[in-house]
Amino acid sequence: MTVTGARNAPDIVDVVALGESMVTFLPTRPGRLADVPAFERAIGGAESNVACVLAACGHSTRWVSRVGADGFGQHLVERIAGYGVDTSAVSVDAGRPTGIYFRTAADRATDAHEVAYYRTGSAASAMAVDNVDLAAVRAGRLLHLSGITAALSGDCLALMRELTAPRPGRPRVSFDVNHRPALWPDADGPRVLLELARCADIVFVGDDEARQAWGLHGGRAILEALPEPEIVVVKQGSGGATVFDRNTEGLQDADGTATFVRAPRVDVVAHVGAGDAFAAGFLSATLRGLPPRERIRHGHLMAAAALTTPGDLAVPPTRHPATAPQGARPGAERPGGPPSQRPSWMSRADRLAALDDEAWGRLRLGPGWTQAGEATEEANTA
């Protein structure tokens, strides 16, 4: 095994994301996998998707994983680094391959959707406490993990337990449940996911997967099952999302403030990657210190960016440098801090997130809306 990058004194970044990324092959036309004649290569991975979107939004991010000593692994590292993500803590495993998968163009929720994974025995499935740069993983303001990693192998599960264990100096942990029943070798998956979620500070879970995994119905039931996390985000698909924030001051009940925001209407191209993009948008707004409503809105807008593109990765809304400082590049300034220290230009997402409730309720987003001046269909509030 060869390790790229130094293991000493890693730089502190905004967000570290640990997990498997794979090369994905997208069909060139609709149809069954048996009938599709050709595929286009892309990349996909729940945690690296979040890191890439956050980096494109101007945050400093690091992706930690393992890839094979093959062209697919090289492609993954190059593509993810191309988004501005630090990949210096990615290990190269000469004995195991990089995972790949093929999928159809059909909606994941339909019977016509097919996915063929080739990830068993992958390099990333061999991640373990003793072969991952733990200092690099912990050198972030926030550590983002998902339940997918826990399902890959016993070593991966032990690593997840090590990273989520409460201890002094542990970074704030964000955990996306990402329940994937087919990945778990036994029936312990739901119990393990609940265990890991209860150790996190921020939890993302869909109301549908909470029903499937834990038999829970409704946001309050989910919140009661997760008494430890500061923030619980319950995603309700195209209907919207609710954030339960136990730290928000103001009008509260015993469980904290509940804030629901409807999702905008979206002309969907593909559903893959929307959950990762939502998490990235929410975490970006969290790092910027925005209130719960704006956090959810930024999550919805990033999800819409993913929903209106064919691949796994969202294309974040462009920033407009017309009023930026001389020589500044979009996204170069740190988006956190008080208003006086934030970038002097507003992103398209910032402006849409600031709409009043009536205009937000009329919002409709179509393909190309993220690229100002190049959009084939602008954001519509009519």
Residues with active-site annotation: 276
Q: Which of 362, 370, 243 is nearest to 301 (CA)?
A: 370
Q: What CA–CA distance (Å, rounded) separates 284 from 353?
A: 13
Residue 79 has which token pair? 């593509």
Tell whether the torsion through CA atoms of 79, 59, 56 and 165 is positive or negative.
Answer: positive
Q: What CA–CA distance (Å, rounded) separates 41 from 58?
A: 26
Q: What CA–CA distance (Å, rounded) separates 312 from 23?
A: 11
Torsion, CA 155, CA 158, CA 164, CA 168, rounded to 10: -120
- Helical packing angle, 292-307 and 274-287, nearest 10°: 150
DSSP string, 240-280: EEEEEETT--SS-BTTBEEEEEEPPEE--S--TTHHHHHHH
Q: What CA–CA distance (Å, rounded) separates 53 from 174?
A: 15
Q: What would you report as the CA-atom Rg of the chain, rounded to the nearest whole angstrom?
A: 20
Q: Which of 204, 129, 196, 169 is nearest to 12 (CA)?
A: 169
